[in-house]
Every structure is written in C-alpha cells, then in structure tokens.
Structure 1
Amino acid sequence: MHLLAIVAHPDDAAIFCGGTLAKHADRGDRVTVAHMTRGEYGGLGSQSEAAVAETREAEARAAGEVLGVDDVTFLDFEDGRVTDSLANRLLLVDVLREHDPDLVLTHFRDDMHPDHRATAGLVTDAYYMASLPLCETDHPPCDPDNVYHFGKPTSSFEPETFVDVSDHLDRKLDALERHESQVEFLVEHGGIDAEFDNLAESLRAEGLVLGKQAGCTAAEGFVPLHETARDYLD
C-alpha cells in the first residue's frame, strides 16, 4: 500500500497524522508526505522568508525520518497564498498521478487557515479528476481508493474513522520536537492558534480523548470522503 499525505505546511503531517503515518510505515507500507509550501511565513520577523523556509524544510525532513516516511517532497506553493484555482487543481491532479497512491490524507475543508482550506479543496477535486483519461497531465491517470481528512478541534471537524496510535503517540510527539522553530512560533504567535499553546501536551491530550472514543489508549481521527472503518486506513 502507498499512503500519500498532502499537507499545507512542514509541521502539519506530524501534528495531524503523525501517528498514522508511523503506524503504516512500521507495517511496511510506502509513506509519502508532500508539502504544499515550505512555511516561509512561520517566523517571528528576525529571519527572511528564505531562511525560515530552509529551516522548516530541514525540520520536515528530520520529522519524516522519525516517522519512517519514505519520501518527503515540496510542491513549491507560496505560504499563505495557496489558492483553489483550476490551474492549481491540475497541478494536484499530476501530483496524485505521479505518486499513484492507494490512499490520500489531507486537511479538512472547514479550517481557520486559508492554506488548509485551499489544500482540502484542491486535493478533493484533484482526486475526482485524477482518473479521467481525457484530463491530460504529464503522468497517466490513477485512481486512489479514498481521501481521509484530518482537522483542528476548533473547526466543525468531527472524526468518523479512528486509527489506534497507542503504540505510536510518542513517535508522533518525537517527530513534533523536530519542528523546533514552530513549537516556539506557535507559543509566541498566541491567540490565533491558541489551541496549540503547549503543543505537545495538547496533542497528547487530544490523542487520549480520541482514544477513549475509539476504545483504545490513543487515536487519530479522520473524516473519509467515502465511508469506511478500518484499523488501518485501507
């Protein structure tokens, strides 16, 4: 199986689905994380956008190693400026076709961050179009089985599919620690991303709460585009 996570920013994979990625990697699945942006707006003003992007790319690659990710890639969209356009939709169609995944993970459509919302729309629409032979891009059509959306607890996101990550929660938090610049940024940012103050503690608590709903110690939750309920996302 090939699991492809398409995320807006370098720390999103660890935050939203790090346990699930690690679990699939551990059972031998191929796992890819494609980042829409390098997160160059995620700085406190003391560095240039280019310097922030370089730091965040390195952090994402280090986090990917912790999670066991096979491929960490960047799609070169601009942070804070991802738009849901036809041209970008076709770019995402070709991304899906290039990687030819069985399953896709991405953001939930209702989210405060505009990049998250735009990414959710682009991926969902590209998923629909990726199998169409007359929609021509650089790579041949593919037909992923499903898209699973992850989201913030502050949105209308209500998980329907749960993955038991009891044995992988510590790895998720270890991967998060590789995003050192963002742990600091989210604390200093304050207010707007208040649910991520004390990020590691918040994510551990969220995992335990979702675990109670799922009947296990810790879980991550998703909303599937097509209804399924499995221990793994397959």
Structure 2
Amino acid sequence: MVVTAHPDDVDFGAAGTVAGWVKAGIQVAYCICTSGDAGGFDDTPRAQMGPLREAEQRTAAAELGVEDVTFLGHPDGRLVPSIELRRDISREIRRFRPQRVLTQSPEIWWRRIGASHPDHRATGEAALAAVYPDARNPFAHPELLAADGLDAWTVHEMWLMAAPDERVNHAVDITDTFDRKLAALRAHVSQTAQLGDLDARLRPWHTYWARKFGFPEGRLAEAFQVVSVG
C-alpha cells in the first residue's frame, strides 16, 4: 500500500518502483490523504481542482496497473498527524491488509527541501503511527471493528520516500519502468504541463541514485529508507 499526501506524490517519488511491483504480480493500493485542491498553476476554479486532481491520479494509477485508489478527503495544505488521520489510514491498512507500506518520510530532507512539504511529513508521521501501533492493535480505533468490521492487521515493512540522505539504504532499478513513470506523471496535467521535458528533468536525478548504489552505467533508480517494523 502507498500512502501519500497529494495526488502525484507517488508518481514523482516511486512510480517506477510501483510499476515494477505490479509487473511482478504484486497487488498495490493507493491511499491519498487529500484531493490536492490547494495545488495547480492556472486559473482552474478551486471547486474544480480537487475532482480534477483525483481524476488525474486515477489515470496515472491506471498507467501503472493500479486500480485501488482511495482519497481520504483531508484538507490540502493543512494536514497534521491527527488521531483522525491515523484512524483513516489505519482503516485502509486493515481493509487492504498489505505486507508493506510505502509512504513519505516524516523527517526534513534539507538538501531537497521541496520534497519535505509539511503535508508530506504529516502524512509520514501519521502513516508510521497507523502501521505501529494503530492498525495492529485490536483495541485502537475500536470503531474500525465495531462499525466497519475491520480486524487488526500487522504491516511488517515500511518504505519511506524523500528521506534524508543519511537514512536512504535501498535503491530500486527503474530503468525498464521509467517510461511508465513518465506516463503516470504526464497524466497529472494540472501539475506537470508547465514543467517542460520531464525526461530531461528526472533522468539526472535517477541516474544519481543508480550511481550512488553502484548500478551499471546507464541505469536509473529510485531510492528509499526501508524500515523493518517486525
């Protein structure tokens, strides 16, 4: 399961990895905390932005083969790691019952501060709390069992996007899925149309991670902090 703050976060941070998982037969679901209604770069009416970005994210997910996409509807730009957000993420974890949760780092990445949007960090902190201890604790959020019939579920591993450099300990070769990543990002027209050549913009970054982890020349990689939850 992928838990992010906004539509497009997963595609910038991990679409190549997700595409590889789906290609390998792994079932993937998205849990997106907001509808991205505070985003965009044009004069699209605010009331239309949230539904537009939800539709873009569903299209982007389909490019990777992901069909299960849930939007929690929390306020864009005002996320905090509240009990309510923890509960809502826990609900999705108990529903989908993943072995792994990929989310955003709750820490600040000082070298690339744009990746550490406050909503991203709040999502990472809430997702971490949802994984441990909330989703696995049968006595946490009792309404999830009483009202929704969702039993406790234990996630064993977390992958964190945009973690500080010293925390990054794993890289995934995305050379063969880079085209799927670009296709997913281009589906986010409201966010990427003004960025120009996405290939030229992203390829150096993924080349950097591939070289850092000793991949052969010409390969591309996405990098993560992988945490065993136990």
**Normalized against structure 1, the TM-score is what?**
0.84
Structure 1, residues 32-81: CA drift from partner, whole Å, max 9, x if none?
11111110111236222221112111111111111111312211111111
**What residue number does 2:50 align with?**
53
Is the CA contact (8 Å cut-off) linking 1:30 and 1:70 kept in structure 2? no
Verify: 1:164 aligned to 2:168, yes or no. no
Question: Structure 1: how far apart are the matches of 2:156 and 2:143?
Answer: 20
**What residue number does 2:212 align with?**
213
Is the CA contact (8 Å cut-off) linking 1:110 and 1:156 kept in structure 2? no
Structure 1, residues 199-233: CA drift from partner, whole Å, max 9, x if none?
543322111111112314111111012299xxxxx
Verify: 1:119 aligned to 2:123, yes or no. yes
The residue type equivalent to 1:102 in the other structure is: Q
Question: Structure 1: how far apart are the matches of 2:38 and 2:199?
Answer: 21
Q: 1:131 aligns with which of 132, 136, 140?
A: 136
Query: Secondary structure, in 3 states, of the residue corresponding to 1:167?
Result: helix
Q: 2:98 aligns with which of 94, 97, 101?
A: 101
Identity %, equivalent residues: 32
C-alpha deviation, 1:143, in angstroms: 0.6
Query: Secondary structure, in 3 states, of the residue corresponding to 1:110?
Result: coil
Is the CA contact (8 Å cut-off) linking 1:211 and 1:218 kept in structure 2? yes
Q: 1:141 aligns with which of 152, 160, 171?
A: 152
The residue type equivalent to 1:101 in the other structure is: P
Alignment of 1:2-41 (within 5 A): 4-41=1-38
Moved more, 15-24 or 103-112: 103-112
User: Is the helix fraction higher in 1 or 2?
Assistant: 2
Query: Secondary structure, in 3 states, of the residue corresponding to 1:128?
Result: helix
Listed as ranges, the gaps of 5+ residues in structure 2 are 109-115, 145-149
Question: Structure 2: how far apart are the matches of 1:198 and 1:12?
Answer: 18
Q: 1:151 aligns with which of 142, 145, 162?
A: 162
**Normalized against structure 2, the TM-score is what?**
0.85
Question: Structure 1: how far apart are the matches of 2:69 and 2:168?
Answer: 26
Question: Structure 2: how far apart are the matches of 1:26 and 1:174?
Answer: 15
Moved more, 33-42 or 105-114: 105-114
Is the CA contact (8 Å cut-off) linking 2:106 and 2:120 kept in structure 1? yes
Question: Structure 2: how far apart are the matches of 1:38 and 1:227?
Answer: 29
Instruction: Kindly tell me the number of residue pairs found equivalent between the two proteins.
Output: 213
CA spacing shift, 1:208–1:11, aligned 2, 3 Å: same
C-alpha deviation, 1:150, in angstroms: 0.4
Is the CA contact (8 Å cut-off) linking 2:186 and 2:193 kept in structure 1? no
Question: Structure 2: how far apart are the matches of 1:91 and 1:39?
Answer: 17
Query: Secondary structure, in 3 states, of the residue corresponding to 1:117?
Result: helix
Question: Structure 1: how far apart are the matches of 2:12 and 2:86?
Answer: 25
Is the CA contact (8 Å cut-off) linking 2:31 and 2:89 kept in structure 1? no
Q: Give runs of ≥4 in structure 1 deviating > 6 Å.
A: none
